[in-house]
Amino acid sequence: MIKLKISLIVTMGMILFSCNNPVDKSETQDNSFDFFVEQFADIRILRYHVPEFEKLTLKQKELLYYLSQAALCGRDIFFDQNGKYNLAIRRVLENIYKTYSGDRTAEDFKNFEVYLKRVWFSNGIYHHYSTDKFLPGISTDYFMHLVQHSDSSGFPLKAGQQPGNLMQELIPVMFDAEVMPKKVCQDTDKDIVAGSAVNFYHNVSQQEVEQFYEKMKNPEDPRPVSYGLNSKVVKEDGKVKEIIWKEDGMYTEAIEKIIFWLGKSLAVAETPEQASVIQKLISYYKTGNLKTWDEYNVLWVNDLNSHIDFVNGFIETYDDPLGLKATWEAVVNFKDLKATHRTEVLSSNAQWFEDNSPVAGEYKKSEVKGVTAKVITVAQLGGACYPATPIGINLPNADWIRKEHGSKSVTMENITYAYDQANQKTGMLEEFASGEEEIEHVKKYGFLAGNLHVDLHECLGHGSGQLKPGVASDALKNYMAPLEETRADLFALYYIMDEKMVDLGLLPNLEVAKAEYMNYIRNGLMTQLTRIQPGKDIEQAHMRNRQLISKWCMEKGKADNVIEKITRDGKTYFRINNFEKLRSLFGELLREVQRIKSEGDYQAGKDLVETYGVKVDRELHREVLERYEKLNLAPYSGFLNPEITAVEKDGTIIDVTISYPDNYAEQMMFYSDNYSYLPDYN
């Protein structure tokens, strides 16, 4: 639930002023660095820079190197989780890409390449964001032509199988929009387990899975493990059972490699605390024991002094229709000391924010524990974080650990900076902002405002509030994710315009907050629709949350004309007329959403999401897509990784270097050639 994806498809502009806390990136970033790599389909590939890498000690760099290797070793796991044919399909496509002997300049071949690039980007054949299957854009005849003119020994064939038979099996999966159409089905009128192509379940119904886990749960347990987090559920001989993702279990071939590199990193851990974190993670991967996973998370969340840190494991449950099973991901990073000061200020005042929020007293935490936050520099991304990348992370996810030990919250500022730089020249803001004043304002304050929003969302928003005793943490079921994001966003939106921000030295003035309101409302009501196909509704949790907030405020503020819909030259714009009033609406909605979460009020949560967050205004959508198309931009972005390389002499690492590849296909093929460990089917 706790991951913040980039939300604003806008030109945010440079910071034209400086105050104490925001980091002046010109000091740490290489101005000649080119952030843009390439664009295809609806995807834009960018790169990120790793400032200050050179200043790390050799030992620290060595640690980064090992952790980065561990981050790359789980790539196949995420492919396989996203659909059981994904690895076989990727290997077929890559073999064609490598060995096809026909005309590689043909239009059809270009379309084939785009399809492969999309498969790489989404880690499978389902769109990374909408979760719909995307189709190859070539005919099956042409596909078979490619197969016939490629090296047949390179295809992932079962014993005795001919390429033709394999393709017969894969063609419906790839080309037929009706066959396994969605990775994650959210249509609650259906069996959402049977309707989802995600490879978490086999031969079981939603009801069978729910009963299976219901039996395991003990409602009295104050510290429940995350049931079902690291396993596939199957039915064999009429019996429902779990297959655990662990060493000697499912995915063992990749997990062994992850364990190997984590083992290497032990020797260069920065502190004994960090070493015990890594040791615990290894024993979790060896046993698959979810109690060990919780112990690991407790150690991890308490390890605050390490300069280098990482995420590695089965973490987020967005891709499971039931919200139980976690996709594999990895992030390797180190602390951005200067920018971290900003989040430390927020964290050390966490109790003030909790006490002064508009939430009902009984649903506030009387003692906010260990809300730690830092700004990090990302050095490597893996699994579900690559190439599409979050811009902030708040972990662990287990409610009881968050309550007793707090959570670690990070903002990935070298990623947001790369977005900002790449967005400078898109023309998006100029097209959709309500007027010159808004453009100026956002250009001036947008980057700082965006960063602060992320900080507030991650450090304070997710960590705030408490459940009413006896309410299950999964009571909101499929509405949990959008409502949780709504809650964290509202917390951020409410407080970014608080005088306290200025008092704490985080903002030079509250004008900055207005830039965030402008960006948020414009995105929630209009520009995020560029990510939706004509005729479709909104499914992704963060997008539902953003429209929910924006539409609710638009409606509730109608009498006071808080947000005004303007039509000029046949184009729609939204202008905020009353920022103070808008802020109080954010507060009002925050109070209600916290109540819904605290009481587990499923019906109210459902009504809120379905009424405001799901349905798309078709007429406006058409207009937005038309205006957007003229800008020739891609709505989604992802990042290439830098390459971290160990230089060895006589078996000892004498240096670790970093370089910045700028060829997307090359990096993907490099990973497939060097970090692919799983069988074709798992």
CB of residue 524 to Zn ion, shortest distance in Å:
15
CB of residue 563 to Zn ion, shortest distance in Å:
23
| 250 versus 609: smaller Cβ distance to Zn ion | 609
**Whether 553 contacts 563, CB under 8 Å:** yes
CB of residue 461 to Zn ion, shortest distance in Å:
7
Cα distances (Å, whole numbers) of residue 450 to 15, 453, 515: 11, 5, 9
In 569-651, DSSP assigns E strands to 571-576, 636-640, 643-649
| 49 versus 462: smaller Cβ distance to Zn ion | 462
CB of residue 392 to Zn ion, shortest distance in Å:
7
Q: At 61, list the tokens.
A: 């760099």
| 433 versus 460: smaller Cβ distance to Zn ion | 460
Helix (H) or strand (E) holding 235: strand 231-236
**Whether 675 contacts 386, CB under 8 Å:** no
Angle of the 480-496 helix axis to the 541-556 helix axis, nearest 10: 50
| 4 versus 6: smaller Cβ distance to Zn ion | 4
| 77 versus 384: smaller Cβ distance to Zn ion | 384
CB of residue 553 to Zn ion, shortest distance in Å:
19
The sheet that has 239-244: what strands, in order across it? 201-202, 231-236, 239-244
Residue at 54: amino acid letter: E
CB of residue 530 to Zn ion, shortest distance in Å:
21
CB of residue 407 to Zn ion, shortest distance in Å:
11
| 90 versus 457: smaller Cβ distance to Zn ion | 457
Taking phi over 0 as left and psi of -120 to 50 as alpha, with beta for the rest, 570 belongs to left
- Rounded (10°) CA dihedral 320, 323, 325, 328: 70
Radius of gyration in angstroms for the set of CA atoms belonging to the chain, rounded to a whole number: 24
Compute CA 391 distance to the chain's CA centroid, rounded to the nearest angstrom. 8
Can you tell me whether residue 153 is helix, strand or coil? helix
Residue 2's Cβ-side half-sphere holds a number of Cα atoms within 13 Å equal to: 23
d(CA 544, CA 129) in angstroms, rounded, equals 12
CB of residue 485 to Zn ion, shortest distance in Å:
5
Nearest Cα neighbor of 496 from 531, 530, 459 is 459
Tell me which DSSP letter residue 133 carries.
B
| 77 versus 608: smaller Cβ distance to Zn ion | 608
CB of residue 315 to Zn ion, shortest distance in Å:
13
CB of residue 1 to Zn ion, shortest distance in Å:
7
Residue 667 CB partners (closer than 8 Å, separation 6+):
640, 641, 661
| 67 versus 548: smaller Cβ distance to Zn ion | 548
| 393 versus 532: smaller Cβ distance to Zn ion | 393
CB 603: neighbour CB atoms within 10 A?
A: 9
| 280 versus 546: smaller Cβ distance to Zn ion | 546
Taking phi over 0 as left and psi of -120 to 50 as alpha, with beta for the rest, 203 belongs to left
| 258 versus 488: smaller Cβ distance to Zn ion | 488
CB of residue 480 to Zn ion, shortest distance in Å:
12
| 394 versus 527: smaller Cβ distance to Zn ion | 394
CB of residue 390 to Zn ion, shortest distance in Å:
9
CB of residue 244 to Zn ion, shortest distance in Å:
28
Residue at 400: amino acid letter: W
d(CA 126, CA 133) in angstroms, rounded, equals 4
CB of residue 457 to Zn ion, shortest distance in Å:
6
What is the sign of the dihedral through the CA atoms of 337, 342, 343 and 347?
A: positive
**Beta strand pairing status for 36-40 and 390-395?**
unpaired
State the residues that interact with Zn ion by CB under 5 A.
4, 485, 488
Residue at 446: amino acid letter: G
CB 676: neighbour CB atoms within 10 A?
A: 17
Taking phi over 0 as left and psi of -120 to 50 as alpha, with beta for the rest, 300 belongs to alpha
| 421 versus 545: smaller Cβ distance to Zn ion | 545
| 71 versus 395: smaller Cβ distance to Zn ion | 395
Residue at 375: amino acid letter: V
Residue 543's Cβ-side half-sphere holds a number of Cα atoms within 13 Å equal to: 19
**Beta strand pairing status for 308-316 and 571-576?**
unpaired
H-type helices in 609-678, by residue range? 618-631, 664-674
